[in-house]
């Protein structure tokens, strides 16, 4: 009987910790990209080390949450959905880590005129992820509010798409001084940033269905 | 011969365990809140405790099978009821064991020329209607209330489910206790006057002759739960309407409330005391209240959620149970009387006593006492050993799992 043991409390703490990790990961990504654009490589490397720790913690928490749910038969009817949600949230922090590492390896040359655009798109993409976390937390305590919270995720995802289209248009149609390889490289980096909001939208779709199921 | 007759009672106990355990733990197991193994162990332990500690003996039985005035007739009636319930369990149709017994008594009445009071027939038909309707109404109200409490409290889903699970276990244990206490009379009550066994000293307490029979009956019910109730639990908790965890709890609570309302004369007199009409003391079946409660939740969630195919089968099963049991009793009595030459009873007069009284003092020998004593002791020890074995097996599994997790993370580093 889980209510008489620490299992329930421990699981709640772990779920909250997992969400904290994703939330922090998003902040680290935003600050990391900013540091790279400002050419502050020391701070950038510090953020990479930080994201590596956060990602590893998230993996451990993900595994322990899923193990705990199975071994103690917790949330039997919602277990698979909760696991899917946690998987897709983990995908966000995996994307963040791989994007920052790609940037650190490839060291893309970003023209200063694109700095503002990339900062804006990073902000929008990270915001989509950040708006997802309160919605995911709300699923466990106030499922009725989940869908309204998710509206912001969809909003920021579509903003990211628009910004990405506009910045790619600028790169390929207006910046004639860049060669094709550099243009493709920049598109690739933007695609990495965009991935965060796309994954957030994927999680929002799962969460939206989960909320309906639990309310009904 | 009496031991052979006792076997029919024990078979009825086994069938009762197979069918009626779903009333207690069906919604919990069907909704996956509790594993079948855990539910079966808890139900078995509490059924036995209920039967031994609070078993209502011959007095309750005399209302039912006790009306049959020959042991051969009682044996046949019990066997027919058991076969009917077993058949329904095979078809995974939850039915009322009491109605199977009432059907058997009507069959015996027809065979022996005794009149069947309209009361028994009214009882059967009224419970088909009153039980499910009241159960559905109470379940809807409870479900709305529980949903509102959950919404307002803002409790964490994990904690909420944990409380629901604990409540289901506690309510289920109580339910199993009363299942044993109330139904043991149907299983072995008729045989109590026929056995005069030596007291069974278990160290802390001594079991009287009737308690030993109750223990035997309790073990029969527990065997039914452990070996044959899983499918029925899944039908009840999963196939009529897909039950959520809170709906599973509502079903068992609604069942308990309805049974309390319709059996509490104190509550009825309290209501008449404040100038309201009395509650009719209609005998309701827990199976039918439970099915009604499940339908109520299905109706509240939307009619499309209800599996009408299974519901139709259950409805047919309810009508078929007393009819089949009655017919089976009637034809079995014919064979038992004419082929085996066993007295199955005759037309009742005011001077005649029921079968239980007729057999008093038939079995007394110390040999039987010893056989039963060693049998009960070995079953008890085997049960305790099995529970300890499973406990340590679970611990071992958890320990090995923890070690493999540690190895996984250390290898990853």
In A, minimum Cα distance to B38 occurs at A1
Residue A97: its pLDDT value, please? Answer: 93
Residue A14, both tokens: 């772990």
- Alpha carbon B401 to its chain centroid, in Å, reads 38
Residue to substitute from A75, A86, A134, A213, interface B, most B β-carbons within 10 A: A75
Write down the residue that tokens 């009379």 correspond to: B185
| Residue B162 with chain A: CB contacts under 8 Å | 2-3, 8, 74
pLDDT in tens, B76-114: 888 888 899 889 888 888 888 878 888 888 888 888 887
A100, HSE (Cβ side, Cα atoms, 13 Å)? 29
Q: At CA B406, angle to CA B400 and CA B408, rounded to 5?
A: 100
Please tell me which of the candidates A11, A73, A142 has its beta carbon nearest to residue B35.
Answer: A73
Q: Which residue is it, tokens 């020959």?
A: B70
Domains of chain A plus CATH, in order, are 2-215 (1.20.58.220)
Q: Are B165 and B42 in contact (CB under 8 A)?
A: no
In angstroms, the separation between the Cα of residue A41 and the nearest Cα of chain B is: 27
Task: Inspect the interface and report whether the beta carbons of B166 and A74 lie closer than 8 Å.
Answer: no
Instruction: Provide, as residue numbers in chain A, all residues whose Cβ is less than 8 Å from the Cβ of B158.
Output: 8, 11-12, 15, 74-75, 140
Q: Are B134 and B284 in contact (CB under 8 A)?
A: yes
Subunit contact B156:A140, Cβ cutoff 8 A: yes
Hey, how many other C-beta atoms are within 10 angstroms of the C-beta on B171? 20
* B149: chain A residues, CB-CB within 8 Å: none
Q: Is B406 on the interface with A (CB under 8 A)?
A: no
Given an 8 Å threshold on Cβ–Cβ distance, is B166 in contact with A2? yes
**Residue B158 to residue A76, Cβ atoms within 8 A:** no
pLDDT in tens, B229-279: 888 888 887 778 888 888 889 988 888 888 777 766 677 778 778 877 776
Determine the residue among A2, A5, A214 to mutate to test chain B binding: the one whose Cβ has the most chain B Cβ atoms within 10 Å: A2
Position A213 scores a pLDDT of 85
Residue B206 pairs in a beta bridge with B201
Query: CA nearest B342: which of B9, B90, B59, B77?
Result: B77
CA nearest neighbour of B359 among B106, B74, B114: B74
B153 contact A CB<8A: no
Distance from CA of B165 to the nearest CA of A (A): 7
Per-position pLDDT tens, chain A of length 216: 544 557 888 899 999 999 999 999 999 999 999 999 888 889 999 999 999 999 999 999 999 899 888 888 888 888 888 999 999 999 999 999 999 999 999 888 888 888 899 999 999 999 999 999 999 999 999 888 898 899 999 999 999 999 999 999 988 888 888 888 888 889 988 999 999 999 999 999 999 999 888 887
Mean pLDDT of chain B: 80
Q: Is residue B111 within 8 Å of B330, Cβ to Cβ? A: yes
- Which residues of chain A lie closer than 8 angstroms to B405, CB-CB? 63, 67
Q: Which of A60, A75, A139 sits opposite B161 (nearest CB)?
A: A75
Q: How many CB atoms lie within 10 A of CB B299?
A: 15
Contact B65, B186 (CB under 8 A): yes
| pTM reported for the whole predicted model | 0.80
For B292-349, the pLDDT digits (tens) are 898 898 888 887 778 888 888 888 888 899 899 999 998 888 888 787 777 767 666 6
By C-alpha distance, the chain B residue nearest A63 is: B405
- Smallest Cβ–Cβ distance between A75 and the set B34, B157, B409 belongs to B157
Cα(A43)–Cα(A32) distance, rounded to whole angstroms?
7
Which of A3, A64, A65 to mutate to test binding with chain B, by most B CBs within 10 Å of its CB? A3
> Residue A77: which of B31, B163, B301 has the nearest Cβ?
B31
For every residue of B285-321, DSSP letters joined together read -HHHHHHHHHHHHHHHH-GGGS-HHHHHHHHHHHHHH
Q: How large is the ipTM?
A: 0.83
Contact B158 A78 (CB under 8 A): no
Q: Which residues of A touch B244 (CB under 8 A)?
A: 77
A162 alpha carbon, distance to own chain's centre: 18
The whole-angstrom distance between B151's CA and the closest CA on chain A is: 7
Is residue A177 exposed (0-12), middle (13-18) or buried (19+ Cβ within 10 Å)? exposed
On whether any CB of chain A is under 8 Å from the CB of B413, the answer is no
CA A63 to chain B, closest CA, distance in angstroms equals 9
Interface of A with B (CB under 8 A): 1-4, 8, 11-12, 15, 60, 63, 67, 71, 73-78, 139-144, 214, 216
Interface contact flag, B166 A1, Cβ < 8 Å: yes
Asked if B334 reaches chain A (Cβ–Cβ under 8 Å), the answer is: no
Contacts of B154 in chain A (CB under 8 A): 141-142
Of B365, B136, B341, nearest in space to B257 by CA: B136
Q: Identify the closest residue of chain A to B242 by CA–CA distance.
A: A77
């Amino acid at each position: 009987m889980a209510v008489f043991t620490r299992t329930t409390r421990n699981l709640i703490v772990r779920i909250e910790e997992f969400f904290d990790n994703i939330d922090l990961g998003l902040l680290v990504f935003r600050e990391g990209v900013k540091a790279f654009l400002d050419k502050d490589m020391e701070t950038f490397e510090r953020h990479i080390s930080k994201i590596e720790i956060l990602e590893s913690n998230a993996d451990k928490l993900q595994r322990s949450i899923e193990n705990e749910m199975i071994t103690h038969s917790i949330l039997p009817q919602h277990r698979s959905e909760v696991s899917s949600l946690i998987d897709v949230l983990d995908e966000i922090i995996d994307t963040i880590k791989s994007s920052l590492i790609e940037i650190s390896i490839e060291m893309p040359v970003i023209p200063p005129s694109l700095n503002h655009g990339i900062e804006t798109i990073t902000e929008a993409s990270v915001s989509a992820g950040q708006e997802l976390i309160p919605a995911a937390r709300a699923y466990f305590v106030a499922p009725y509010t989940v869908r309204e919270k998710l509206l912001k995720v969809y909003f920021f995802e579509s903003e990211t798409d628009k910004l990405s289209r506009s910045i790619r248009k600028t790169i390929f149609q207006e910046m004639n001084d860049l060669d094709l390889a550099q243009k493709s490289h920049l598109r690739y980096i933007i695609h990495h940033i965009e991935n965060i909001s796309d994954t957030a939208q994927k999680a929002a779709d799962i969460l939206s269905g989960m909320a309906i199921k639990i309310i009904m | 011969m009496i031991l052979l007759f006792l076997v029919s009672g024990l078979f009825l106990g086994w069938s009762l365990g197979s069918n009626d355990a779903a009333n207690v733990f069906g919604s919990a197991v069907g909704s996956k809140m509790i594993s079948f193994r855990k539910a079966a162990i808890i139900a078995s332990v509490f059924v036995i405790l209920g039967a031994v500690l609070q078993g209502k003996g011959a007095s309750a039985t005399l209302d039912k099978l006790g009306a049959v005035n020959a042991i051969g007739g009682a044996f046949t009636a019990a066997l027919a009821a058991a076969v009917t319930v077993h058949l329904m369990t095979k078809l995974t149709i939850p039915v009322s064991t009491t109605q199977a017994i009432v059907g058997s008594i009507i069959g015996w009445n027809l065979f022996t020329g005794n009149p069947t009071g309209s009361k028994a027939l009214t009882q059967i038909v009224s419970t088909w209607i009153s039980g499910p309707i009241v159960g559905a109404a109470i379940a809807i109200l409870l479900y709305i209330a529980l949903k509102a409490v959950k919404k307002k409290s803002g409790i964490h889903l994990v904690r909420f489910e944990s409380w629901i699970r604990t409540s289901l276990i506690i309510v289920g244990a109580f339910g199993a206790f009363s299942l044993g206490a109330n139904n043991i009379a149907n299983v072995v009550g008729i045989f109590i006057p026929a056995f005069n066994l030596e007291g069974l000293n278990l160290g802390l307490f001594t079991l009287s002759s009737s308690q030993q029979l109750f223990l035997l009956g309790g073990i029969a019910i527990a065997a039914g739960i452990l070996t044959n109730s899983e499918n029925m639990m899944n039908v009840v908790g999963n196939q009529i309407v897909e039950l959520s965890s809170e709906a599973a709890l509502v079903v068992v609570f609604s069942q308990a409330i309805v049974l309390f309302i319709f059996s509490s004369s104190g509550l009825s007199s309290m209501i008449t005391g404040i100038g309201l009409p009395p509650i009719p003391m209609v005998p309701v079946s827990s199976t039918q209240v439970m099915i009604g409660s499940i339908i109520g939740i299905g109706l509240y969630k939307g009619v499309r959620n209800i599996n009408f195919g299974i519901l139709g089968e259950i409805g047919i099963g309810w009508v078929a149970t007393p009819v089949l049991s009655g017919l089976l009793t009637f034809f079995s009595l014919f064979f038992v009387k004419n082929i085996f030459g066993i007295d199955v009873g005759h037309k009742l007069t005011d001077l005649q006593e029921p079968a239980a009284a007729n057999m008093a003092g038939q079995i007394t020998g110390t040999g039987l006492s010893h056989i039963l004593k060693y049998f009960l002791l070995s079953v008890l020890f085997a049960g305790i050993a099995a529970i300890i074995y499973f406990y340590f097996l679970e611990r071992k599994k958890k320990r090995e799992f923890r070690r493999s997790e540690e190895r996984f993370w250390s290898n990853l580093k």
